[in-house]
Amino acid sequence: MLNVSYDYYRIFYYVGRYKSFSTAAKMLGSNQPNVTKVMNKLEQQTGCTLFVRSNKGIALTEEGKLLYEHVRVAYGQLMLAENELERAAGLENGIINIGASETALHGILISALEVFHKEYPNVRIHLSNYNTPQALQALKQNLVDFCVITAPSDIPKDFHVEELMEYTENLIASEDFICNSKKDVFMLEELAGLPLVALEEGTGTYEYYNRIFAEHGCQFSPDIQVATSDLLLPLIENNLGIGFVPEFMTENGCNKKKLRQLHIKEEMPARKICLVENRNKSLSVATDTLKKAILKQAALFGRNIKNIQM
Kindly state whether residue 149 falls inside one of the protein's structural domains: yes
CATH number for the domain spanning 64: value is 1.10.10.10
Say whether both 55 and 180 belong to one domain.
no
Kindly state whether residue 229 falls inside one of the protein's structural domains: yes
- Quote the number of domains for the chain: 3
CATH number for the domain spanning 256: value is 3.40.190.10
Kindly state whether residue 81 falls inside one of the protein's structural domains: yes
Q: Is 76 exposed, middle or buried (0-12, 13-18, 19+ CB in 10 A)?
A: exposed
Would you state the pLDDT for residue 306? 41
Say whether both 111 and 84 belong to one domain.
no
Kindly state whether residue 130 falls inside one of the protein's structural domains: yes
Say whether both 79 and 30 belong to one domain.
yes
Kindly report, residue by residue over 186-237, the tens digit of the pLDDT.
Answer: 888 888 788 999 999 988 889 889 999 998 888 899 999 998 888 898 899 8
Mean pLDDT of 231-253: 85
pTM for the whole structure: 0.65
Asked if pLDDT for residue 86 goes beyond 70, the answer is no
pLDDT averaged over the chain? 84
Concatenate the DSSP letters of all residues of the chain into one string. Answer: -----HHHHHHHHHHHHHT-HHHHHHHHTS-HHHHHHHHHHHHHHHTS--EEEETTEEEE-HHHHHHHHHHHHHHHHHHHHHHHHHHHHSSSS-EEEEEE-HHHIIIIIHHHHHHHHHH-TTSEEEEEE--HHHHHHHHHTTSSSEEEEEES----TTEEEEEEEEE-EEEEEEHHHHHHH---EE-HHHHTTS-BEEEPTTSHHHHHHHHHHHHTT-----SEEESSGGGHHHHHHTTS-BEEEEHHHHTTHHHHSSEEEEEESSPPPPEEEEEEEETTSPPPHHHHHHHHHHHHHHHHTTPPPEEE--
**Of the candidates 39, 54, 89, which is a domain's last residue?**
89
Say whether both 134 and 202 belong to one domain.
no
Kindly state whether residue 124 falls inside one of the protein's structural domains: yes
Say whether both 193 and 260 belong to one domain.
yes
Q: Which domain holds residue 75?
A: 6-89
Say whether both 105 and 77 belong to one domain.
no
Say whether both 76 and 224 belong to one domain.
no
Kindly state whether residue 269 falls inside one of the protein's structural domains: no
Higher pLDDT, 227 or 302: 227
**Of the candidates 63, 89, 115, which is a domain's last residue?**
89
Say whether both 74 and 107 belong to one domain.
no
Say whether both 158 and 296 belong to one domain.
yes
Say whether both 105 and 144 belong to one domain.
yes
Say whether both 232 and 193 belong to one domain.
yes
Would you state the pLDDT for residue 243? 93
Kindly state whether residue 1 falls inside one of the protein's structural domains: no
Say whether both 248 and 290 belong to one domain.
no
Would you state the pLDDT for residue 310? 30
- Of 78-82, 153-157, 183-187, highest mean pLDDT: 183-187
**Of the candidates 26, 59, 89, which is a domain's last residue?**
89
